[in-house]
Every structure is written in structure tokens, then in C-alpha cells.
Structure 1
Amino acid sequence: MEATIVLPLLLISLFSTILVAQATDILAANQTLKDGDTIVSQGGSFEVGFFSPGGSRNRYLGIWYKKISLQTVVWVANRDSPLYDLSGTLKISGNGSLCIFNGQNYLIWSSSSSPSSQKTSVRNPIVQILDTSNLVVRNSGDDQDYIWQSLDYPGDMFLPGMKYGINFVTGINRFLTSWRSLDDPSTGNYTNKMDPNGVPQFFLKKNSVDYFRTGPWNGLRFTGMPNLKPNPIYRYEFVFTEEEVYYTYKLENPSVLTRMQLNPNGALQRYTWVDSLQSWNFYLSAMMDSCDLYKLCGSYGSCNINESPACRCLKGFVAKSPEAWVAGDWSEGCVRRVKLDCGKGEDDFLKIPKLKLPDTRTSWYDKNMDLSECKKVCLRNCTCSAYSPFDIRDGGKGCILWFGDLIDIREYNENGQDLYVRLASSEIDKYNIHYMKGKIRMLLIIVLSTALFLICLCIGLTVFNMKKKKLATKETVQRESLRVSSRKQEEEDLELPFLDLDTISEATSGFSDVNKLGQGGFGPVYKGTLACGQEIAVKKLSRTSRQGIEEFKNEIKLIAKLQHRNLVKILGYCVEEDERMLIYEYQPNKSLDSFIFDKERRRELDWPKRVEIIKGIARGMLYLHEDSRLRIIHRDLKASNVLLDSDMNAKISDFGLARTLGGDETEANTTRVVGTYGYMSPEYQIDGYFSLKSDVFSFGVLVLEIVTGRRNRGFRNEEHKLNLLGHAWRQFLEDKAYELIDEAVNESCTDISEVLRVIHIGLLCVQQDPKDRPNMSVVVLMLSSDMLLLDPRQPGFFNERNLLFSDTVSINLEIPSNNLQTMSVIEPR
């Protein structure tokens, strides 16, 4: 009898257990989810429960990934109403609202009771977490009858399948809001939101200030996100109808985890989960560089990150405030050079390719109009300033018209879009004439060059044959004549005062060892005093130096034409009795490396002095890159080549390896790589490719050395084998950048945020990809203002290595055409 009773009870108990196990993704109307309990989606992808973020003790109801080891929260319910203990509970009300209560049974948060679907009746509501991360409230009898869903109210995370935009019927606008910090999920300072005015586009805002704009969708991508391309991870889509407009994406491989997150610092970035590393790997960023800052170049200004300065006016426009523009303040933008002739039929349009289209909030569009009709409509309206295709697929279709000023434009090397800008006909004619003249000029150059080459070849062969006949009898005479001629020509080319050898020898006491200041790759440097009492520094070309006559002449020709308070001043030269010397103004505090790398003298450089030295070097490099008559790449910027005057002002020196670029050039290649290990950029050291950004890399290394008092090359740390750059980046990622600060400046460092900002700027300058590094004009702006800084990417040479050398070594590499390399290591500079 007892067995008869017990058996049914066991079966009922087992059946109940099975039912509970099968219903772990659901919370019924009569159930409560307490702190410590969770529900898990049917496929085990997501989990719902109470949690505490980071080091916080506050409790929140959230959703996180279930299958990965690193807790990553994708949605928070009570983000602005935290619980302060473990007494929180989640319940569902009769009207279908989610409710969170504290230990005193006070309601601290509830979901919206407005239904997302067209059905308004609520019948036996339940809560369910889906494998899409969507937490839904639905009627128990209908899987699709959602009363409320979390994907309609996202936090800082954009996940697969989510509709990121606006439903015009229900009025729901799904947008991202950053957390306040990594430990605080409350509403932060940044939002990324669809703006439906004109042609829809997303805006990243800091509080109410526009910070970044994606640009409109052109059928393939947002025009301000050229890095958005088809990929093997996810497939994206943009939907724009009368009922709704939204952006979404779906996974190509469901096993891959990827998310888009708006971080507390305003960075909108995509990550993918790498299971082998058990970490999230950075994939791409919506903002790529400083040119993405909203309206950086003002009205009718265009930003090109590969140019210096980055901002310039569109063709047919000039700076509204030339003085401010030259000084790097582009906020006032540009104005038309020639006013429009609207109403007289004399305006036309200039095609400008490869652009991020201007702000479309004041635009008008038609999805079906062809481009020729688009142009006609724009011409008929005097306030229409530009037009472009709405969709660039299949040759282009549709029409966008802009009214008023064109704002927030930038140029791309690829994946940009054509914009037709309205100009007076006289301006159009001028550019067409210039274009035709350029074509004709190029044709003439080719024809004349070919003819000149043939003439020179004939003359050369004739002269060669004549010289060959006379060579045997006149070889000695000609050699002597050439030597004398070369010496005279050399002296005529050097546009500086000449000092004879006796004067310099007397000033340096016969180049006495007592007066010797140091030794570099060029040769020894001596202190001297002229008869007039002026102190000088004499740099003498060593006979054993690998740097020869070309470097000597190069330095004189360059530095003689430069005048800046942060560049060392050259006073003259000497070429006599096979001696070649450069005479500089004497700097009593010698070079920067004699301070920052010396255990005792480093204390003489407190933090205010160090930051002024950094700013002085930045101003000097900006002058070389953008403001001098020549565009100069230094190629050997390092601590020993920065001299300090009596007031500790920085003076950049040693231009023997510098190279000039044409007015429109920003880069060049060489088969001879010369410079100093530890300071050379990866693209220059490996491929011989140097640019303005190569100097920026060297500057970034120097900044980190000044802050830390440690050399990049030969840097050691017990925890790893990274160089100083790798160590600094690692500390930055772990929020331990403050540990990098030289202990010698601890007492003088009253504002830790300033030091951390300088370290941040240094890391931006040493990024692996030259395109990611800022120009020196932007560096100077970042050092002198509170402008928001982007997160740095991985620095160059970020790899662990064997520590073979402890000192910096200058190198001279010859790179032959077969891509093999031979290396000659010369004396430390």
C-alpha cells in the first residue's frame, strides 16, 4: 500500500523537476527572480540575473553572455536606479510590466507597459530570455505576441538582429547610451542616435554637442564609414521605408560572437570574441582619426588626414579668416571666392570625388530621380548648394539636395562619394581651363623630355668618345682640376658666413680635449669662445664618420634657411685643409639625454619643465613640417639631438639626415635607411618609406622617454620582454599608466591628469599604422587644449624580443632592388 502511494509521488516529483528544467528560460507571472537566481536562454547563449559591475557593490538586473568566461553585460534594466544590497527581486505585473523591488518591497524600476505590437490585450503574461539576447514579455499562448522587449530599449550595446533606428509608427527610437564608467552603468555622457531630419544619419553626441556623424547611407555603406565593408563575420543591412528606418546586422557564422559598443569615453567600436585568448578582440571603430571630429574644418572646409594641415577649403572657396586658418583654427570655415549668379542661369557644378557627404539634416531627397534631373532641380533653387546621388549602386540613382552651408566634409583615398558643388560659372571655367592646361602641359613635357633625352644621349656619347681618346694623356691634370673646381663650387653653395680654420682653432684652444663636449655619429663637438666673446659649439666632421660631404652640405643648406626659437641656430662653417666644421650657438645645458637618462641630473627637470620641453619640440617639428619655407622631415629626432639652452628651452639640432619634400608631398621612399634604432618608425626601418608621420613616431617615442626617464631601446621589465612602447601601451590598457611616471617628478607633478594626457598623446603618435598617427599640427593642438583624445591602437614594434643591446645605435641601411638588406652599424650619435 505504501509503495503504491510513494511511486506516484516520485513520478509527480520527477515530472515537476523535468518541467522546471525545461522552463529555465521563462519566468511565469506567479514566479519571482531573486538576487542569486538566473534564467538562461534555451540555447544557453544568454543569462539574466542580478550582478555588480567591476569594483562596484551596487546591484543591477542585467543580461550577459552565458558561454564565455569574461562576464560581458549587454543590457541593464535599472541602470539609473541601483540596488544597494542583495535583496532585489524581479516580478511581472498583471498588466505585463517588469518590476524590480528592493528589500523593503519598494518599486525601484519598471518596464514600459506600452505594447510594442498592435495587440494591446494582456493574457497570462510571462517573461522569456531568447538566444538573440532579447528579454521579452509575451502572452503565454503566443510566441510572437510581444507586450514588451528589451531590444526596443538598448543600453550601450548594439547586438546582432537588433533594429538600430526609428519606428515611425510606434515612435520607438532605438539608440545607444554609454555607461558613465566601467564600474557604473548609469546613463553616461555619450549617445549614438539616428537623426531622421533630411536624409537619416547617425550622430554620436557628447551630452548635447555633436561629436561624430556617420553620414547618410549610400546603398553600400554610411559615407562617413569607408571601413564598413562586406566581411566573413557579419552581414549588414539598412532599411528605409515610410514605416521605419534602421540599421541591423546578422551573423554569417552563428558560432562567432561580435558586438558593437559605445564605450564610456565615447568610442563606438566593434569587438569579436577570440576563444583561444579568452578575450574580446578589437575589430573596427566608427571614428578612425581626428578628421572624424564633427565640423572640424568648418563650413565648406574639407579634412584629409594625409595632408598637412589636414583642413583645406573646397575648390572655389577661401578661408573666412586667413589668420586663424594659418594658426590651425579652422572653426570659421570657408566662403565662396566668387558669389553665385543665381537667377541669371550662370551657375554650374564642380564634381568633387571621394568625399564623406556633408551633414544632411537640412537636405531634401528623392529616391527615384535621375542625376540630370537632380541637377536641374538644384539649379532652379537659389539656396541649393550641392547635389549627389542618393544610392551609388548600379551607376547611381536618386537625388540628395543640400540647402545652405556644406558642413563636416572629409576626403578618402577609397570608398568616398562624388559631390557636385554649386559654383559661379567663372570658377568652373577656371578649373576646366586648369584641367586642360594640365593635360596639354603633361603632353608637352613627355614630348620635350623624350627629345631632350635623345639629344643628351647623342651629346653624351660624343663627349664620352672624345674623353676616352684624351684620358690617357690628361688624366692627372683633369683630376686636379676637378678637385679644385669641386672645392670652389662647394664653398659657393653654402649660404653662411665662412670662418677660417685658425679662428676656430684659437677659439677651441687647438681643439683641446678640455673643450670637448661630446662625440656623435658626425664627429666630435667642441666648445669655443670667439675673440668677440661669443660662445660657440663646433661640430667637426670625423674622417672615419660614415656621414660624409652630402650630409655636411645638407645640414648647412637646410638649417641656414630655418629660423625658429625651438631650432638650434647655425652661425657659420669652415671648409679648409680637408677639414669640415659647423659652428652653432652654444647651448650651456647640452642635450636632453644628459638629463632624463642620468640618475642625478634628471631631478633638475621637474614636470613643468618636462612638459614645456615636449611642447617646444612639438612646435619645432610643426615648423619643420608645415610652417617653414621648406617641408622638412628630420629623420633622426631623438633625445641626444634636442639641446637645452640656459632657460631649459628645447632646441632641435642635427639636420644631417633631414630631407625636404615638395609643397604637395608628404612622403617619399629611399633605398638608404639612416637613423637611430628605437626612434625609427616601422615603415621606415623595414621598407625605407618615410613621411611626416615617421617624425611623429620619433616624437612619440621621445615623449614617452621624457615622461618615464627610460630609454625605449634596451628597456627591461621583469614581467615581459616588451620595449618601452609596448610596456606603456600595456599599462594604458590596464589603466595603470600612472605607474609610468618618472619618480623624479613625483613631487612636482600636481596634476596627474596632465601627465596621463601626455602619455596618451605619446601613444597616439607611435601607433603601428602611419595613417592612425596625428599630424604635428594636431599634436600641438592636443598638447595645448582639452580636446577629446581617441583611444590609441597597438604601437609599432609591439613584440617581445631578445635584449641584446642596451644603448641606442644609429644605423645606415642600404636596401637594394632585390629586397635584400645589408646593415652597417655606426657610432652612437
Structure 2
Amino acid sequence: MQALRRLFVCSLLISCIRISTTTALDTITPSRSMRDGETLVSAGGSFELGFFSPGASKGRYLGIWYSFDTDTVIVWVANRETPLGDSSGVLKVTEQGVLVLLNSSNSMKWTSNSSRTAGNPVSQLMDSGNLVLKDGNETNPDSFLWQSFDYPCDTFLPEMKLGWDLVTGLDRYASSWKSTDDPAPAEFSVGMDRRGLPQVFIMKGAKIMARGGSWNGLYFTAYPYPPQNTALEYEFVLNKDEVYYEYRLLNTSMFSRYMLTPSGIVQRFRWVYQTHSWELSSAFQADQCENYALCGAYSSCSINVSPICACLKGFVPKSPKDWNLGYWSDGCVRKIPLACSSGDRFLTYTGVKLPDTSSSWFDKSMSLKECNGLCLNNCSCTAYANLDIRGTGCLLWFGSLIDIKEFTAGGGQDLYIRIEASELDRIERKSTFKKKKLPRILIGSAVFLVFTIALILYIRKRKLRNQGVRSIDCTKDYLGEDREDMELTPLFDLSTVAKATNDFSSSNKLGEGGFGNVYKGTLIGGKEIAVKRLSKNSGQGMIEFKNEVILIARLQHRNLVKLLGCCVQEEEKILIYEFMPNKSLDFFIFINSLKFSSDQEGQRLLDWPTCFHIIGGIARGLLYLHQDSRLRIIHRDLKASNILLDNSMNPKISDFGLAKTFGSDQSRGNTNRVVGTFGYMSPEYAVDGIFSMKSDVFSFGVILLEILSRKKNRGFSHPDHHLNLLGHAWTLWIQDKQRELIDTTLYDSCNISEVLRCLHVGLLCVQRIPEDRPNMSYVVLMLSSDITLPPPKQPGFYTERSVPESPSRKRPFSVNYCSTTVIEAR
């Protein structure tokens, strides 16, 4: 017992010594330096300064981090480009008041280069995370000799200024790390541009990548509304001495930080005490419209319409051919040149992100009416707006209007664009005409259109009947549905299709699915086609057939299969597609069940770069269906066998027979009759009949895991457990054995960090709760950048009993090819 008491007293004394040392050691002086292995801790215990080695690097750096964070998030680095080679580094304060970092040979590896001197210099780590050099007990930041907040790295902390000291010429900007192993400044930076009305830019070298916009009195114009965060206070200062932006914590017990990633994404994190981890609160550049000047001059970008770029009213594409192909960077030009002075007026745009202000002029005291007159009297002025969104000040633009974004859900600001008077009159008359007379015109036009099309179909059928052929137009029952852009799908004669496929010979058969058999065909002239013939025993019928015709005829994307035509003749229902010489994705990834001319043929054709190319293509195709197409489409039967591959191994999503269209205000639907393919169905769909875009996201996640593992989700078996592929992947993830999921044939060609990122994204996509799954725009972003990914949660269908397949039922293609289909009204 006596020994235990002595041990307790010794432990208590040691603890007290540690506490005392930590509390006292927040400063260094010329007489007290700091060596590698020692640290400074801020008075409140929030931040710590010391030496560290990032990631796999062996170099030693002097940096600042959160003292309570076990993951050691580094917020500032002194010697970013000059690492120490060993652990003998020393940080000192000279008698003249300069911070220096010395190596083992007393060579200087970094210095604060402070120009001012002090009689009693000390360096102190503040509880804001700011390392300062000052004279004695000086507390006024304006009198500090030097401070780390003037030289940000990749992290923007509360009370840190982003912007310019106009007196000294100091530019405070953040720059990303080169990688997680190298804190040296990379090509991405974020800072304040002083031209015109100052604004925030994200740069890649000298190229503008994204624009946070100018300050509108409450927040930056890149955001539709002020930040809904009562814990932070934002401030923008613009005077003759300084122009900068900063934010402060209203609750000093919380922690928040902005970070510029090595891929150029600005993210905001907040510390969550319950989980002792950093939570991603927001990320700038979350959609395409945040890419700087994506649509060129005199155009606007709206992420919720397709195409996302549109010329402003009174303007037309500068290069119509390129514009129609989706190359928008040339922008738009005026239909009618400005007449100047009284010959011009202004068109109001509401709810927009204001254009680039680098060629602007502003006045804080003018009214909007005075602003209008000032712009009208200057022939070079192209637009104006309130400087402050609350209705004060004047902001004028001179030159082209660039980087406008429309906020479709409200918010944004009013912008007044200069238009020649007669052109504005025409725009206003057209708008009035649409409001008053368009409904009657549309009704009359629709009646006339229906009558005309019916007459054409009648004449065509009479002609075919006279030739002894009965044919039905694929679109005949859909005349009332979006008729404006509907075109009749090309019709193929049955005899032509039969001849092309050698009378549907078994030697021409490519495979089979829920719809029926698929054949290869060659038309007269040598064009190769794929022919999908509805089977009499198929659960699918005319509804699925017409659904596919209608949808694919309207969709145009490089990652969607192209429909060439159809044939409904006698008892036949046939779809004709472009031929995909490399078959479908499952032909390559499920190599254990396939036969190649050599054992390695499949693996060579589908190395990791090809796999990553296919993954990205599928993601972009789904994003088009969910967001960028004229229709919002849920595929409902996304699987490996429905991903076709062309000559260049470009993936193309196919088989839209089970797809559903949604309205712009609809987010999900439900059905009593579930259709699709087991193994790819999301839990909420398979169990409750609820489907949404997140159902397709789940299916995409399954495909991604199947590509990485080269195993099927349905029917997966493992000697150690009875989990399906999703459960197996999840188990390896929580055991930190992710690499064991990756098929060995990928190792020779793979970028392992890229592969593991795809695995991470796949697990995020198959999470059990739909709201936890990312949307496809975020999936594309995660796959194409180094954005920090949230941890995945447990997947849906975590366990599934494997049922061995009877040898008599084995086929040369994946069993996933077959769909479980029930006819339901659409």
C-alpha cells in the first residue's frame, strides 16, 4: 500500500510538472530557443507549434496544428520549401528581433525576415493560431514585428486576413500544398484581386479557375444567400490603407477553418466534439457553373437547365457551330450594336451572380437612379447594379460581361444590362406576346400538328399496306407529349432487319436480356448494327418498347447508346442501335466466368486507366440523365451488362425500357411493382418500391465495386463469411484492409490512391439510407479531384446469403444481364 501511495505521488508530481511546462511554454526569447521534440502551446491550449513530418515524407518541418486533434491537421508551415534533413532543428529569436530556423550545422533554413527591430523581442503562439514576433508585452497587432497570419499556407483561420495591405504592398493569399506529403506551395492559390471592385479569385498559376465574386454588403456574390451560420461573423474592409476579408468565431469554444486542397477546391470544416473529428460543412466549386467564364462573354450559366449555358437576351452565339456542340467559351455577341446615349435602355436580370468586376467602377454613396443615368451617359458602360445588395451604392461595368450565374432557387442580385432600344422593345413585345397569346397559339398549333402528323401516318400506312407490309409508327401514341421537339424515329422494314441479321441466326446472336435476344447485323452498305428483338416470353412488352424509343430519341450524350431506329411489324417489336464492338462491361470484369483466347486477354484489355476511364464515363452519363438532360430520368436498371463499350472502350449506358421520367420539382416516386435486377437494386426500391436518383447512385456504386474486385455482387462467395460483395467491401473497409478487395490483375497498371478513392466513392454510393448517398454531380467531383471524402456508413443489403448456381443454368454472359420485369403503367 505504501508503495502504491509513493507511485501515486510521483505520478501527480510528473503531471503537475508537465502542466506547468505546457502552460508556461507559449513564448521563446533570445535566451530560450525551441528544439525538435519540444513544442509551444498557446495559452488557451488550442494550438501547438512544433516539428513534424507530413505523410510519408522524412523531411522535418516547423508547423502549427490543433493541439486537441489526434489526426494533426496542420494549419501553417514555416519552411514549406526547405525541409530539414533530420531532427536537429532549432527555432530561435535573434537579439535584433528575427525568427530563424537552424539545422544541425547552424545553417539558416528559414527566417521571418522582419524588417523592424525591438529592444525586448519575444515570439509567442497566440490562441488564434497566430505565431507573432513582438516587443515585450506589446498587444496591438499593428505594432507586431511579424506574424504568421500575414503569410497563410493552405488554411484560412478565423481572424486571418485575406487581401492587401495597400501601405506596405503585402498580399495575403493562401496556396495549396503540392500533396499530403509535401507542403511546398503548389499551383493553386486563393486571394483578393484589386482591379475594379475587389473580388476573390481561385487561381491555377496565372489562370483564373473560379471566382468567389465581389462583396455585396453582406456576403460574396458567388453565393445566392448570406451564410446561414450564427457561429461566424464575416467582414470585408475596403479603404485607402487595406482591402481584405476575414471571419471571426462568435463562440470561442468552437473551431472552424477553410482549406484549399491540392486540387484547388476550397472547403470549410468545423470541429464536431461528439465525434472528435472535422466535418466538411461546405465546398466551393461544387458545380460546373462555378468554373470561371465557362459560358464566355454575355452569357449566363444555370446548373438546372440543359444546356447549362445560354446567351443573354439580345445576344447570340459568336460561333453558332461551336456553341451547338457544347463549346461555349467564345461566348455571345450583340444582335444589334449599341446606339449610345438615348438610343439605349436597360434589361433587368434578377437573381444572378454579378459579372467579373475587374473592369468595373464603384461609388458607395450614389443611388440606383443616379447609377442608371451615369451608365447611360457613358458609351463604354455595359451594365450597372447596386454596390450594396440592401439598395445603396453604384457599380458600373465597362467592357464584356463575364462569368454570370443564374440562381434558379432564388437569391442573387439584380443586374441591369445595356441593350439597344429597338432590340429591348422586341424582347419586351415577345415576352408580352408569350404571356397573353401564347396559350391560344399553342392550342391551335397543337391541333394543327396532330392533324398533320395523323395525315402523314395515314398516307404512310396506306403506302406500306399497298406494298403488302403492315407497320406501326413507334411514336404514334405519344403525339401529345412534348411534341415540340419530337421527331419520328426512323422505321426499319422487317425484311431489312432479317436480312441484316441473317434471318436472326444464332451465329449472329450477341447475348440476351430481359427484353429478348440481341443480334449483330450488317446493313447494305456495310454499316454494323445491334438488333434487340423482343422475345415472346419476355415480361416486357409494348410499354417498355415505346418507353425506350421515346427516351433515347430525345437523349444525346457521348455516354448513352444511340438508337438508330425501330420496327413494329406483324408480331415483331425490334430496336436497332449503333453496334458496340467491345460488347458490354460485364464481358470484361467478370473474367472468371468467361473464355478468352488467352488467359490474360481480358485483363490486358481492361487495365486500370481503362477502368477509370469507364467509371468516369458512366458517372457523366448518369449525371446527364439526372441533371443535364431536358428530362430528369431515373434509369432503374443500371448494371454491368447495360454498359456497352465502343471501339475506344468508351462506356455507353443502354436499355431504357424500365426508365422513369421525373418533373423538375419531383425528387422520388414509388410503385407496387418492382422492376430491375437483383444485386443492383437499392434497399428502399427492392423492399418498399421507392425509387429516386439515389436508386441509380446505389446501382452505380455496385458497378464500381464490381469493377475493382472483378466479382459480382449477387452470388458473391467468400470462405470466411456469407456476406455479399457489398458486405465484404464494408468489412475490409472497417478493418483497414481495403487493398484486399482490389483484383490482383489491376496492380501492375493502377494508381493505388486513385483505386482506393474509387473504392471510397463506391461505398459512399451504396450506403443504406438514400439521403446519405451523394448525388451524381458530387460523385463526378469526387472522382475528378482530391476533395476530402466523408467516411462511408454501413451499406444497404449488408448481408446476403449466397445461393450456388446450378450448372445447367450457367451462361456465357453474366446472370446480371437478366432483369426482373413486371409491366406497369407509365
* Both structures adopt the same fold (TM-score exceeding 0.5): yes
Partner of 1:464: none
- Are the aligned partners of 1:768 and 1:793 in contact in 2 as well (CA < 8 Å)? no
Range 797-806 or range 143-152, more displaced: 797-806
Identify the residue that residue 53 of structure 1 maps to in structure 2.
Answer: 54
Inter-partner Cα distance in structure 2 for 1:618 and 1:19: 56
Structure 1 match to 2:393:
398
Contact 1:675 1:811 in 2 (8 A): yes
Deviations 1:721-770 (A, max 9, x none): 897699699989x9x998876544556x4888998999999999999454
What is the one-letter code of the residue matched to 1:435? S
Matched to 1:350, the amino acid is: L
Which one of the candidate residues 781, 785, 791 is aligned to 2:787? 791
Query: Which whole-Å deviations, capped at 9, do the CAs of 1:438-461 have from their partners, x for residues lacking one?
Result: 221367699999xxxxxxxxxxxx
Superposition map of 1:111-126 within 5 A: 111-115=112-116, 122-126=118-122
Distance change >3 Å, CA 315–CA 103, structure 1 → 2 = same
2:279 partner SS: strand
Offset of residue 279 of structure 1: 2.6
Q: Residue 710 of structure 2 corresponds to which residue in structure 1?
A: 709
> What does 1:170-319 correspond to in 2, within 5 Å?
170-226=168-224, 229-319=227-317
Give the structure 2 partner of residue 329 of structure 1: 327
Matched, 1:772 2:773: no
Do structure 1's residue 320 and structure 2's residue 318 form an aligned pair? Answer: yes
Shift of 1:199: 0.8
Deviation at 1:258, TM superposition (A): 1.4
| CA spacing shift, 1:492–1:703, aligned 2, 3 Å | closer
1:558–1:196 Cα change, 3 Å: closer
| CA-based RMSD | 5.2
CA contact (8 A) 2:520 2:529 kept: yes
Determine which of 546, 554, 562 is the counterpart of 2:547. Answer: 554
1:229–1:629: structure 2 CA closer, same or farther, 3 Å change rule? closer
Q: Unaligned regions of 5+ residues in structure 2, if any?
A: 1-15, 446-469, 477-488, 597-601, 767-771, 803-814
Matched-pair contact (CA < 8 Å) for 1:592–1:642: yes
CA distance in structure 2 between the partners assigned to 1:251 and 1:495 by the alignment: 64
- Other structure's SS at 1:215 match: strand
Distance 1:111 1:615 in 2: 45
Q: Map 1:430-579 to 2 at 5 A.
A: 430-441=426-437, 493=476, 496-499=491-494, 519-523=512-516, 541=534, 545-556=538-549, 567=561, 573=567, 575-576=569-570
Work out the CA distance in 2 between the residues paired with 1:155 and 1:492: 60
Q: Distance in 1 between matches of 2:93 and 2:665?
A: 63
- Taking the TM superposition and a 5 Å limit, the aligned residue runs for 1:714-729 are none
Find the aligned partners of 1:107 and 1:533 in 2 and give their Cα distance.
74
Shift, 1:128, TM fit: 1.5
Provide, for residues 78-112 of structure 1, a one-character-per-residue CA deviation record: whole Å limited to 9, x for no partner: 22222212222122122211122222222222213
Amino acid of the structure 1 residue aligned with 2:63:
G
Q: Is the 8 A contact 1:180 1:187 kept in 2?
A: yes
Tell me the equivalent position of 2:351.
Answer: 354
AA aligned to 1:399 is C
CA shift digits 1:198-256 (9 cap, x unpaired): 11111111122111111001122111134751314322222223332222222232222
**1:593 corresponds to 2:586:** yes
The 8 Å contact of residues 764 and 793 in structure 2, kept in 1 or not, is answered as no
1:97 and 2:95 correspond: no
Per the normalisation by structure 1, the TM-score is: 0.74
Distance in structure 2 (CA, Å) of the matches to 1:726 and 1:428: 63
- 2:120 & 2:303 partners in 1: Cα distance? 58
Deviation of 1:366 after TM superposition, in Å, equals 0.6
How far residue 559 of structure 1 moved from its aligned partner, in angstroms, is 6.1
Aligned residues with identical type, % of pairs: 47
| Structure 1 residue 27 displacement after superposition | 1.6
**Residue 299 to residue 796, structure 1, CA distance change in 2 (3 Å):** farther
* Unpaired stretches in structure 1, ≥5 consecutive residues: 1-14, 116-120, 450-486, 783-787, 817-829
Going from structure 1 to structure 2, the CA distance change for 1:538 and 1:347 (only over 3 Å counts) comes to closer
CA contact (8 A) 1:75 1:154 kept: yes
Contact residue 179 and residue 185 of structure 1 kept, 8 A:
yes
In structure 2, the CA distance between the partners of 1:567 and 1:88, relative to structure 1 (3 Å rule), is closer
1:379 equivalenced with 2:376 (yes/no): yes
Q: Which residue of 2 aligns with 1:605?
A: 605
| Residue type at the aligned position of 2:372 | K
The residue that corresponds to 1:157 in the other structure is 155
The change in CA–CA distance for 1:490 and 1:245 in structure 2 (over 3 A counts) is: closer
Partner Cα distance (1:704, 1:604) in 2: 19
Query: What one-letter code is carried by the residue in structure 1 that aligns with 2:269?
Result: Y
Deviations 1:382-430 (A, max 9, x none): 111111111112xx11111011011122222233222111111122112
Against the structure 1 CA distance between its residues 377 and 584, is the aligned structure 2 distance closer, same or farther, given a 3 Å change threshold? closer
Report the 3-state secondary structure (helix = DSSP H, G, I; strand = E; otherwise coil) of the residue aligned with 2:40: strand
Alpha-carbon distance between aligned partners in 2 of 1:21 and 1:584, rounded to the nearest angstrom: 72
Please report how far the alpha carbon of residue 573 of structure 1 lies from its aligned counterpart in structure 2 after TM superposition: 3.5
Question: CA contact under 8 A between 1:521 and 1:547: conserved in structure 2?
Answer: yes
- Normalised to the residue count of structure 2, the TM-score between the two structures is 0.75
Q: Quote the offset at 1:555 in angstroms.
A: 3.7
3-state SS, counterpart of residue 494 of structure 2: coil
Count of residues in Structure 1 that have an aligned counterpart in Structure 2: 740
Q: Matched residues in 1 for 2:368 and 2:134: separation?
A: 48
**1:803 maps to which of 790, 799, 802:** 799
Q: Is the aligned partner of 1:411 residue 2:406?
A: yes
Query: Structure 1's 500 and 188: CA in aligned 2 closer, same or farther, altered over 3 A?
Result: closer
The match for 1:480 is none
Counterpart in the other structure of 1:80: 81
Give the C-alpha shift of residue 17 in structure 1. Answer: 11
Structure with larger Rg: 1
| Structure 1 pair 31–327 and aligned structure 2 pair: CA distance change class (3 A) | same
C-alpha deviations, 1:231-288, integer Å up to 9, x for none? 1432222222333222222223222221111122212111122334333221111222
